[in-house]
Amino acid sequence: MATTAKNELEKPLVPVYVTGGRTFAEVSEDVSRPLETFPTATWWVCFIIATLAFAVGATLLLQTFKQGVGLWGLNQPVGWGDDVTTFVFWVGIGHAGTLISAILFLFRQKWRTGINRSAEAMTIFAVMTAGVAIMTHTGRVWLAAFWLFPYPNQRQLWPNFRSPLEWDVFAVSTYFTISLIFWYTGLIPDIATVRDRAKNKIRKVALTIASLGWRGSNKNWLHYEQAYLIFAGLSTPLVLSVHSVVSFDFAVSQVPGWHTTIFPPYFVAGAIFSGFAMVVTLLVMAREAFNLKHYITMDHLELMNKIIMTTGMLVGYAYAVEFFIAWYSGSAFEKFTFINRAFGPYWWAYWIMVSCNVFVPQLFWIKKFRRSIPLMFVVSLYVNIGMYFERFVIIVTSLHRDFLPSSWGTYVPTAVEWGIFTGLMGFFFIFFLLFCRFLPAIAMGEVKSVMDQPTKKDAKGGAHHA
């Protein structure tokens, strides 16, 4: 045990990914404990709130299915509002998990091991939430599968493969499938660890099936590691492609404010930005609630805050470039759209977006702020709000005043739309809370491989090096 007091002045020569001098057995113990004990009162309170929120949303969605999307504030000229905003918001959030698990893996960023499992879980649930948002926005959702997915039929009718909306169907469903199997592959050895600790017979059987009977044989690890590397390699271009394709939904159209080439990189930066903010929001709570401070350390949070600040500035740069190009294009419509964005009827949405996304994260220039839990929690909430408004601004302000002044209009989300938005938030949190309760929230197998290893000397009874 490395409990001996370390000289405060002595800095570790190698980065410490797990603090508190944990041993392998203690890692398994710490991570499995929340799964093996009855959930705490806090968990139940959160779970009940999430379920109630979801119940509200589900009721309103049912009402929408019965009466139609007329219950929403959508009309000409604003045909996309809160529904598509919510979709893009959640798909964006769903980008951080794969970024952490795939891109940081390829760059050999070992600190990812502490946070990748929960970030990937967040990705999957966020994409599911986005899926619900976009499927229900079609109105008659029971028919959506026929419009969206190409299926062989006697009339030889196919969706329009030249449409970005159809590309989006493929991009998002591929992303969900690949993220899910990537996540499950990562879970297999950890479920095996939990299985081998199980006392209850039914629990053991269930976990044996879920872990596919994994035994940790090195002949298995060989194929496993190879598959994991390939998943990382496949997911890296995939994660960049998904939000690019989402941005094509707008960029391929002719609407001023949408028709820009900057959209793909701008959307990807925004997705990473919002995703990391959501990861910080969730992990700050989870590390407290499940006592995971040795695994999700202050260093992890600081690194994530640095990424939030960087991507926040990328997004800010995109806002500026959009304005510049609107002027430089010489197009009267483009110019008008951007002036209207910042100073028109939706000026408040625009300035909420700029304040939350560009100004607030600048606090992270100061190290003390990057390492302050309450501050980073508040900043991450601001970023979440700002990124909702970014999509709202892009979608609504571009649509509400386009070419013909005679067809201008306004859009205000109705209570039904806000209720559905809240319900989807509940939907996401139900899954996230269940995940924290039933699956190991830290990738034990990966954390063990990057932490302080016992050496030969320890086995012979020598002192554990600090």
Stretch that binds other proteins, among 37-45, 151-159, 270-278, 307-315 (CB under 8 A): 151-159
Q: Any residues with CB less than 8 A from the CB of 104 and at least 6 apart, and which?
A: 111, 112, 116
377 part of the interface to other proteins, by CB under 8 A: no
Stretch that binds other proteins, among 83-91, 114-122, 370-378, 440-448 (CB under 8 A): 440-448
In whole angstroms, the minimum distance from the beta carbon of 369 to other proteins comes to 35
Rounded to whole angstroms, what are the CA distances from 133 to 91, 115, 256, 267, 421? 10, 27, 25, 19, 9
In whole angstroms, the minimum distance from the beta carbon of 402 to other proteins comes to 19
Q: Which of 181, 366, 373, 463 binds other proteins (CB under 8 A)?
A: 181
Q: Report how far residue 417's alpha carbon sits from residue 65's, in angstroms, rounded to the nearest whole number.
A: 13
446 part of the interface to other proteins, by CB under 8 A: yes
Of residues 159, 156, 155, 135, the one with CA closest to residue 147: 159
In whole angstroms, the minimum distance from the beta carbon of 394 to other proteins comes to 20
464 part of the interface to other proteins, by CB under 8 A: no
Q: Which residue's CB is nearer to other proteins, number 102 or number 376? A: 102
In whole angstroms, the minimum distance from the beta carbon of 423 to other proteins comes to 29
Rounded to whole angstroms, what are the CA distances from 343 to 34, 339, 364, 384, 385? 50, 6, 29, 23, 20
3 part of the interface to other proteins, by CB under 8 A: no
The tokens for 336 are 């008008």
The tokens for 307 are 């990424």
Of residues 323, 327, 319, 321, the one with CA closest to residue 355: 319
466 part of the interface to other proteins, by CB under 8 A: no
Q: Which of 226, 253, 407, 410 binds other proteins (CB under 8 A)?
A: 226
Three-state SS at 314: helix
47 part of the interface to other proteins, by CB under 8 A: no
Q: Which residue's CB is nearer to other proteins, number 133 or number 444? A: 444
Q: Which residue's CB is nearer to other proteins, number 22 or number 341? A: 22
162 part of the interface to other proteins, by CB under 8 A: yes
Three-state SS at 9: coil
In whole angstroms, the minimum distance from the beta carbon of 226 to other proteins comes to 4
Q: Which residue's CB is nearer to other proteins, number 127 or number 280? A: 127
Stretch that binds other proteins, among 93-101, 308-316, 354-362, 446-454 (CB under 8 A): 446-454
φ, ψ dihedrals at 56, nearest 5°: -60, -50
Q: Report how far residue 70's alpha carbon sits from residue 55's, in angstroms, rounded to the nearest whole number.
A: 21
Give the binding-site size for other proteins (rule: CB under 8 A): 67
Run of H or E including 125? helix 116-136
Task: Convert residues 107-146 into a mask of x (bound to other proteins by CB under 8 A) and - (unbound).
Answer: ----------------------------------------
In whole angstroms, the minimum distance from the beta carbon of 197 to other proteins comes to 7
Q: Any residues with CB less than 8 A from the CB of 286 and at least 6 apart, and which?
A: 118, 292, 296, 436, 441
Q: Side chain identity at 310, as an amino acid letter?
A: T
445 part of the interface to other proteins, by CB under 8 A: yes
Q: Side chain identity at 364, as an amino acid letter?
A: F
Considering only residues 8-37, where is the footprint of other proteins by CB under 8 A? Answer: 23-25, 28
In whole angstroms, the minimum distance from the beta carbon of 252 to other proteins comes to 9
Of residues 288, 310, 314, 441, the one with CA closest to residue 370: 310
The tokens for 131 are 């899926």
In whole angstroms, the minimum distance from the beta carbon of 101 to other proteins comes to 13
Which conformational region is residue 213 in: left (phi greater than 0), alpha (psi within -120 to 50 degrees), or beta?
left
Q: Side chain identity at 452, as an amino acid letter?
A: D
249 part of the interface to other proteins, by CB under 8 A: no
In whole angstroms, the minimum distance from the beta carbon of 204 to other proteins comes to 9
Q: Which of 50, 245, 296, 394 binds other proteins (CB under 8 A)?
A: 245
171 part of the interface to other proteins, by CB under 8 A: yes
In whole angstroms, the minimum distance from the beta carbon of 406 to other proteins comes to 25
Chain center to CA of 44 = 23
Three-state SS at 140: coil
Rounded to whole angstroms, what are the CA distances from 459 to 453, 455, 464? 11, 7, 9
Q: Which residue's CB is nearer to other proteins, number 220 or number 362? A: 220
Considering only residues 183-212, where is the footprint of other proteins by CB under 8 A? Answer: 185, 189, 192-193, 195-197, 205, 208-209, 212
Q: Report how far residue 260's alpha carbon sits from residue 318's, in angstroms, rounded to the nearest whole number.
A: 11
Site residues (CB under 8 A) for other proteins?
23-25, 28, 150, 156-158, 160-162, 164, 166-167, 170-171, 174, 177-178, 181-182, 185, 189, 192-193, 195-197, 205, 208-209, 212-227, 230-231, 234-235, 237-238, 241, 245, 248, 444-446, 448-449, 453-456, 458-459
